[in-house]
Amino acid sequence: MSLTQTAIDILARNDRGGFTIPTAGLYPYQWNWDSAFVALGIATYDMDRAWTEITSLLEGQWPDGMIPSIIFRSDDPDYFPGPSRWGKTPGPIPSTGISQPPVLATIIRKLTQTCTPLDQTRRAQVFDAVFKWHKWWHDTRTVDGVVATVHPWETGRDNCPEWNIGLKAMQVAADLEPYTRMDNKHVHPSFRPSQEQYDKYLTIVQFGDSIGWDQRRLTVEGPFLMADPNLHFVLLRADKDLSAIAASLGKPQAILDQIDAWVAKGDAATDTIWNPDLEAFTARDLRSGRFSTGFSNCSALCFYADSGSPEQRAKTLDHMSRIATNVGFMLPSWDPNAPDFEAQRYWCGPLWPQMNYMTALGLSEQGQADMAARVQNDLCRAIEKSGFWECFNPLTGEGCVGNNFSWTAAVWLSWQHENKLKGAA
Ligand code: GLC
């Protein structure tokens, strides 16, 4: 069977009726940014179903505009922390109390790029919800002009060493309720975050629950507060795409002005996450001002967001060239020359399909065709060698953590489709 057919089959098998899970067993619910990438893949063969993926995600939106990282439409005893651990959340469907990188507007723009009457109807159908979510990031998660995160899980990069400074600065709650991890039962513990990290993740969850998930209080008073290049660049890019969507829909000037102000704010904040010692975009603890210490697979998203100075972009490419000589498969989630690199431990080293997708897109849009091709081809080679894994060892291309993974299938399909279109042109 061709890899393209295998990818379609994976997405069909992970379909739970209007929404798609990342992979059976390990992740049995709808995840926020996973669904956005899934829509991109399904759109290559079934646009109606792709659109349902997006609208089903929006069904979980909270009254304050937040779209949660996980929507719990059921309670699976095999998953932890499930709905009961997150407590009473104010959304229409039980969910987590944190969000995830807002790639949605970018993907909606891509899916509706031909602006046919049907595309415009679809854009109009979701515009208000997406606008409200972006407003939530700007009003509720922004501190001193830069978008912040309150939990490593919200960044989508759970145990990346980027978070070590923020996690070291916080204490595990003395009254942390006991719990049993389930992730280590599905996959080998060597792939997964450590126990101390897990205790801290749950300390933040317990704090959020204790304040009734008041999101502004969680940002300002919570145990963890860091700026993240992933959230920053993904939101900035998405704001730019939302601006284009708003203009195409003929939205009122006040809305267009509001989005433009977010873009200006975002572009101005790019310098806040420029680590002058490392000469790279890195995470930053917003309480101490300290930067994290490694180049990650989000550092190069400045291209995707079309932000940062020419010097910053040149330094970013220097780092990528250096790393490219050290690994067989670009782009590792953590610098192989930095402390805490581990080739197969989740966000401490493996390459991640959705990150390669965004990185390659940004590089090619900004005229860096060679590096874009390397990032794209390396993921394709890893898939050809090992299959549709959640992430891959950047030294060997072996698959890590979950197999038959939805976003890996989706990214593959999207690139194959683009290649076909290019071939036909
Ligand atoms: C892991 C990843 C996160 C992803 C989720 C479901 O938690 O770190 O980015 O959304 O799995 O695939």
Q: pLDDT tens digits, residue range 118-169?
A: 999 999 999 999 999 999 999 999 999 999 999 999 999 999 999 999 999 9
Atom of ligand 1 minimally distant from the CA of 406? 12
pLDDT digits (tens, 9 = 90+) for 236-265: 999 999 999 999 999 999 999 999 999 999
**Residue 425, pLDDT above cutoff 90:** no
pLDDT score of 183? 87
Name the one residue in this structure whose structure tokens are 């102000």. Answer: 261
Indicate the pTM of the whole model: 0.98
Q: In the predicted model, is pLDDT for residue 189 greater than 90?
A: no
Q: How far is the CA of 115 from the centre of ligand 1 (A)?
A: 31
Q: Ligand 1, atom 12: nearest CA belongs to which residue?
A: 22
pLDDT digits (tens, 9 = 90+) for 366-420: 999 999 999 999 999 999 999 999 999 999 999 999 999 999 999 999 999 999 9
User: In this predicted structure, what is the pLDDT of residue 187?
Assistant: 82
Question: What is the predicted pLDDT for the residue at 75?
Answer: 95
CA distances (Å), origin 408, targets 3, 22, 148, 214, 353: 11, 9, 27, 34, 6
**Does the pLDDT of residue 188 top 90, yes or no?**
no
Q: Which atom number of ligand 1 is nearest to the Cα of residue 32?
A: 10
**Does the active-site annotation cover 279?**
no
Residues lining ligand 1, judged by CB closer than 6 Å?
22, 27, 31, 33-34, 156, 158
53, 154, 158, 162: which is the annotated catalytic residue? 158
**Residue 98 Cα distances to 210, 239, 328, angstroms:** 14, 20, 35
Q: Which ligand 1 atom is at minimum distance from the Cα of 100?
A: 10
For all residues of the chain together, what is the average pLDDT?
Answer: 97
Tell me how far the alpha carbon of residue 285 lies from the centroid of ligand 1, in angstroms: 22
Choose one of 23, 34, 69, 184 to mutate for the ligand 1 pocket test, by most ligand atoms within 8 angstroms of C-beta.
Answer: 34
Nearest CA to 212 out of 64, 6, 357 is that of: 64
Residue 194 confidence class, pLDDT cut points 50, 70, 90: confident
The whole-angstrom distance between residue 22's C-alpha and the CA centroid of its chain comes to 13
Residue among 194, 161, 193 at smallest CA distance from 294: 161
Q: Which of 158, 352, 400 to mutate to test the pocket of ligand 1 (most atoms within 8 A of CB)?
A: 158
For 197, other C-beta atoms within 10 Å of its C-beta total 16
Ligand 1 atom nearest to 347, measured from its CA: 8
Mutate to test the pocket of ligand 1, among 31, 187, 297, 334 (most ligand atoms within 8 A of CB): 31
